[in-house]
Amino acid sequence: MITTVCVPLAERGYDVVVGEGAIDALPTLLPRAARRAAIVTQPGIPVTVEPGVAHEVFAIGDGEEHKSLATIESLCRRFARWGLTRADVVIGVGGGIVTDVAGFAAATYHRGTPVVHVATTLLGQIDAAIGGKTGVNLPEGKNLVGAFWQPHGVVCDTAVLATLAPRDYAAGLGEMAKYHFLGRDDLEALPFDERVAACVRIKAEVVGADEREGGRRAVLNYGHTLAHALETTGGFDLLHGEAVAIGLVYAAEVAHRLGRIDESRVAEHRDLIAGYDLATRVAAPLDPHRILELFGRDKKATTGLTLVLDGPDGVEPVTGIDPDVLVDALTAVSPIS
Ligand code: GLY
């Protein structure tokens, strides 16, 4: 079944086409004036696209180290040599690294060129490709340079997910897990394609309400504060979605300690993550001082330690949390040192 979800951003609103075979819709998502398409992808991505206009493939390297300003410069120079104009289109074909890089190159090339994303990973389909966050890393940290640049359209062909390595697919389920707590639908009751579409619908609604993360969009970071800290400290060998899964359990444990949710709701988090065959804890002890320091550096931490937490009014950012509570809850997701 093909579902089309609109991201409601007035004149910058766009469609996300979801389902098996959604890739056939690609030509319909291109801007009408586009005469050529610059396809940004990586050598290992097993998806070829037929945009219906003259096109050329611009490969970028695989791995987080290629999500850099050097890659943006190289891409834009290659676009210029090929003669890409801002009436044309960039098409990002890949996971989050590709769509972040292709989106940022498009945002800056000729002061803004349309971009369409073909998301080939589960994480990309339900999160990274939608909502216009683009950017690259600096040696000083991840995603420190970027722009909001909404795509002209997004393709989420679920047939492509069969090409993913099992661990990458499972990690995408960690990101999917957060949506179980953000929307009204019972996602577990839905067939997989419809579950992907339901996640896209939640993301579209949140982005439509708060494009630039002035408030509500922060809920999309549910489970991400500990996840980012685990990814930054390193040494845990966790993919992003695996870290988010543990971060969701941690956030539930914090919310429980603050009296925001009861034990059965914590168990719901644990059961869901375990049901997705993902770990609910890290294997090695965590250094509480280091973790709190990283929480303090989080982009949301402008007024004290902030976490996105479940509660009686649903999931929302909560500020000024007692650090002792945060440290105590770490014992629920890691062995004690
Ligand atoms: N991935 C979080 C957001 O798009 O806001």
Which residues 6+ apart lie within 8 Å of 331 measured at CB?
none
Query: Two tokens at 240?
Result: 């992003």
Q: What is the CATH number of the domain that holds 252?
A: 1.20.1090.10
Q: Cβ-count burial of 57 within 10 angstroms (0-12 exposed, 13-18 middle, 19+ buried)?
A: middle
Same domain, 146 and 14: yes
Which of 175, 221, 240 is the pocket-test mutation for ligand 1 (most atoms within 8 Å of CB)?
A: 221
Residue 142 placed within a domain: yes
Ligand 1 pocket member 242 (CB < 6 A):
no
Give the domain extent around 259: 222-337
Task: List residues with catalytic annotation.
Answer: 111, 133, 175, 203, 213, 217, 221, 224, 228, 240
Closest atom, ligand 1, to C-alpha of 220: 2
CA distances from 108 to 75, 87, 93, 101, 310 (A): 11, 14, 18, 11, 37
Q: Is residue 53 part of a domain?
A: yes
- Quick one: 14 and 117 in the same domain? yes
What is the per-residue pLDDT across 98-138, written as a single tens digit (0 to 9) for each? 999 999 999 999 999 999 999 999 999 999 999 999 999 99
Q: Are 39 and 234 contacting, i.e. CB atoms less than 8 angstroms apart?
A: no
This prediction has a pTM of 0.94
Last residue of a domain, one of 124, 139, 168: 168
Q: Of ligand 1's atoms, which has the minimum distance to the CA of residue 127?
A: 1
- The residue among 149, 168, 187 that closes a domain is 168
> Helix (H, G, I), strand (E, B), or coil: what is residue 308?
strand
Query: 224-233 and 288-297 are packed helices; what angle lies between their axes, rounded to 10 degrees?
Result: 120
Task: Note whether 15 and 112 are same-domain residues.
Answer: yes
Q: Is the pLDDT of residue 139 over 60?
A: yes
CATH code for the domain in which residue 93 is found = 3.40.50.1970
Model confidence pLDDT, tens digit, residues 38-57: 999 999 999 999 999 999 99
